[in-house]
């Protein structure tokens, strides 16, 4: 898994540096892991504008500007929340792309949503693409798989 993560992070670097595009990240369930992966390799400062960890719903509202109505109607673990997170962080950092991730890595249900349910949203110039993941590992494994899947999804949208 570590080798695969490293390879996709290198591909991410190559794409963003080569295309002169910038990236920002809003993370909930991964707790900053994606941002950490991106900055583990030299050169991230050439494209990575920054990341925000918004673990609590209040942080999603207060820091990112996700509407309370979205969280009330759909919950923190939803396509709608992931979409708003992606749009808001892209605007906040004025980046070309943004990646947002929210979900339940385990071990119990949250908001009535099963363990392993994760939503990834990628925003590019106001167009948002979504990916739903249904993971079955333990919490740590799910975090790694979610980060890997999110970065693969990001690279697939050019």
Q: What is the domain extent for residue 16?
A: 2-156
Dihedral angle computed from the Cα positions of residues 63, 58, 116 and 50, in that order, rounded to the nearest 10 degrees: 10
**Residue 54 reports pLDDT greater than 90:** yes
The sign of the torsion formed by the CA atoms of 137, 99, 65, 51 equals positive
**Residue 1 reports pLDDT greater than 90:** no
pLDDT mean over 41-47? 97
Contact between 87 and 18 (Cβ < 8 Å)? no
So what's the pLDDT on residue 107?
Answer: 79
Kindly report, residue by residue over 77-101, the tens digit of the pLDDT. Answer: 999 999 999 999 999 999 999 999 9
pLDDT mean over 59-83? 97
pLDDT mean over 17-40? 97
Nearest CA among 44, 36, 29 for reference residue 81: 29
- Report the number of distinct structural domains present in the chain: 1
In what side-by-side order are the strands of the sheet with 117-124?
48-53, 23-27, 97-103, 117-124, 127-134
Residue with tokens 């070309």: 96
Instruction: Find the angle CA(110)-CA(84)-CA(13) to the nearest 5 degrees.
Output: 100
pLDDT mean over 16-22? 97
The CATH number of residue 138's host domain is 3.90.950.20
């Amino acid at each position: 898994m570590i080798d695969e993560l490293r390879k996709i992070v290198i591909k991410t670097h190559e794409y963003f540096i080569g295309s002169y595009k910038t990236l920002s990240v809003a993370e909930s369930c991964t707790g900053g892991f994606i941002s950490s992966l991106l900055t583990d390799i030299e050169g991230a400062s050439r494209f990575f504008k920054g990341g925000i960890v918004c673990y609590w719903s209040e942080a999603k509202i207060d820091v990112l500007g996700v509407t309370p109505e979205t969280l009330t109607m759909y919950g923190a673990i939803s396509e709608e929340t992931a979409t708003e997170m992606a749009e808001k962080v892209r605007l906040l950092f004025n980046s070309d792309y943004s990646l947002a991730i929210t979900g339940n890595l385990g071990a119990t249900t949250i908001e009535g949503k099963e363990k392993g349910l994760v939503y990834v949203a990628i925003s590019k110039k106001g167009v948002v693409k979504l990916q739903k993941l249904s993971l079955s590992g333990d919490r740590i494994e799910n975090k790694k798989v979610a980060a890997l899947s999110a970065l693969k999804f990001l690279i697939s949208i050019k």
